[in-house]
A and B are shown apart, each in its own frame.
Chain A
Amino acid sequence: MWRKGEQEMKTKNLFRERRNASWQTGLRYFRIIAGSGGTPLFLLLVISLSAYLYTLLLQKLPHDFPVELLLALLVALVVTPCSVRTFIKEPDTVFLLPMESHMKPYFTASLRYSIVIQVITTVFLISLLYPLYRARVGEVDTFLLILVGILLLKAWNIYSYWQSLHYQIGRLLHPYLRFVINFSLAALFFYREMAWWIWLIFLLALTLFTWMDHALSDRNRVPWYLLVEKEEQKRSSYYAIANLFVDVPQVLFRIKRRRVLTWLIDHLPFKQKYSLLYLYLRTFIRHNIYLGIYFRILLVGVILISIIRNPWLVIITYLIALVLNGIQLPSIVSHHQRHIWVQLYPLAKSVKKASFSQLTFGLLTIQSVFMILPLLFQKENILFSLHLFLAGLLLCYGLSYHYLPKKVEIIRG
């Protein structure tokens, strides 16, 4: 009995060590990012813009708009996605496997940790809804009451999600079911509907869920591989965010096939000098982050240029959007430079450099075309649009052929 307790103590301490190590890494990146020049400025820009759009929404929202439903939807979108940080790594499937029966304290600690962290982020996100609630629905005291309800709901969601990881079947359906429950409950909160039978139905639904958790899950086994996969996804999404600001060597990318876009780039000529461009283009299209960031910046750029009236602000937005997309591209190359094949290919250094410049110039030119379209549709000042477009192209050229190649360490070396 005494030995058993000792093993349990060890796994619990192991969790604590891993959690601390993870926080240290996180803080290290945070320091680097906060210290790097443009980042805080960029975030400030994004935040003030969002605040501006939020106040605009509060003013312009029609009076018969069902705010309660919108709030319920947003709450459900915040409450439903859950994760449990287990810090389980691939080698654990070998080295921790003998400890499987002693892992309970480890996972209890991890569940508790995840609930605390996500309850805190939920408080933050839900408070953002307060101005909307205050303007249309009710007072601060009822909001606080609702907040407590939402936090309990969140904790239950995380617990239920954790159970669902043990399911033998039906795991992928689980978030949708939770979404329905969360949305309905949140709507009841906001409508302050008190009819007892509605609450009864929900009590029954929750009981059903809890029963399902117990019936469908094999709770004696640890779903090791699933945990490794979830943990890698979580880590790679953190690194992907950090990678926007600093070069993160250990970014784990997820790959998507994206048939249509692949088909679009399949017309690249079959020539030796385009071989790296072939690789870079596929990398750009199939990685979870590059393309996502590219489209988001493009979209935000197009929207801002359509609504901003001040010509100076239009110029600044246009050029900044190009720079923002440009600076993420060198990591496509440095990502591959360490690859043995890229080192062994019989390609001259000039070809390697040219491939990167072609990629960057192509992508940025496409972006500048799309961002000029809203100005052309307004037909107010065609000459202004053309000048801006030319300035944009010049910037694209400078970025692609002079500034950004210097950022790719190995091309230089």
Chain B
Amino acid sequence: MLEVTNLSGGYTQSKPVIHQLTFQVKPHQMVGLIGVNGAGKSTTIKHILGLMKPFTGSITLNGSTIEENPTQFRSQIAYIPETPSLYKELTLWEHMKLTAMAYGLDEKTLQERGKRLLQIFHMERQVDWFPDTFSKGMKQKVMILCAFLVKPSLLIVDEPFVGLDPLAIHSLLELLVEMKEEGAGILISTHILGTAEKYCDQLILLHDGKIALQGSVETMGEQAGLPNATLDELFIHVAKG
């Protein structure tokens, strides 16, 4: 579904942040993107979202690139950003309504999915609130609600667990699994290795903008020459060079 081939990119041509990345996200698959701060996780995500232009390489989603058909490309992706970004002038429900409108859902779908999601994340009481009264966790929940409302074929999640309460983390993971079972592909960047190991089918360990190790924990161990190593051990092995 998502094919990233030889992707290099960054903010200035002379200083690429990511180098020659090649990986896929298939339907029914959750792929974990891990690495230390500054390894290039968020930059990779920005390229896939089309917010940054690759220097070389290509990104295709279900066979087409963003240049070929930006509207079609974007309508297949939903994104949960690392830092919640909300409209000061819209209430929680209006955020969901705007998202539904922009992604071409109908009103009935909004009502059904929206009500269920609000219930799951215990946000029913806040539907008419403006975001300036929300805590960091609540703002993050709004991002999650909007992304799951869209039900895209590819979901990109950037470090979603920070600031969420344990109950919300649990619900989020349950929903991710549910979406995966329904056939979506998920690309998730996180520092929480235990969760990544437990939930992801594939892992990509980035270091200095390059893919250091890739695959299941076993294959990554073999790649590193450390069979039977845990993900934590592999991570530290790579991070310390």
Contact = CB atoms under 8 A, between A and B. Distances in A.
Nearest to A270: B107
Interface in B76-132: 77, 79, 81, 85, 87-90, 94, 97-104, 106-107, 130, 132
Contacts of A348: 70-71
Find the residue from A253, A336, A347 having the highest chain B CB count within 10 A. A347
Contact of A347 (B71, B73, B106, B107): B71
Interface stretch (A158-166, A191-199, A275-283, A386-394): A275-283
B167 interface: no
Interface residues of B, number: 29
Find the residue from B87, B89, B97, B107 having the highest chain A CB count within 10 A. B89
B135 interface: no
Contacts of B98: 275, 278-279
Interface in B4-41: none
B103 A345 contact: yes
A63 interface: no
B75 interface: yes
A294 to B, nearest CB: 15
Contact of B89 (A271, A276, A282): A282
B201 to A, nearest CB: 26
Contacts of A271: 101
Find the residue from A270, A276, A279, A341 having the highest chain B CB count within 10 A. A341
B169 interface: no
Contacts of A253: 88-89
B68 to A, nearest CB: 14
B75 A257 contact: no
A329 to B, nearest CB: 15
A278 B97 contact: yes
Interface in A276-331: 276, 278-279, 282-283, 286-287
A257 B103 contact: no
A346 B72 contact: yes
Contacts of B101: 270-272, 274-275, 278
Nearest to B99: A341
A286 B103 contact: no
A339 interface: yes
B87 A346 contact: no
Closest 9 pairs between A and B when the two form their complex, measured CB to CB: A346-B75, A275-B101, A346-B74, A275-B102, A345-B102, A272-B104, A286-B89, A346-B71, A270-B107
Interface of A: 253, 255, 257, 270-272, 274-276, 278-279, 282-283, 286-287, 336, 339-341, 343-348
Interface of B: 49, 51, 70-75, 77, 79, 81, 85, 87-90, 94, 97-104, 106-107, 130, 132
20 contacts: A253-B88, A255-B88, A271-B101, A272-B101, A272-B103, A274-B101, A279-B98, A282-B94, A283-B87, A287-B89, A339-B87, A340-B81, A341-B87, A341-B102, A343-B51, A344-B77, A344-B79, A345-B102, A346-B70, A347-B71
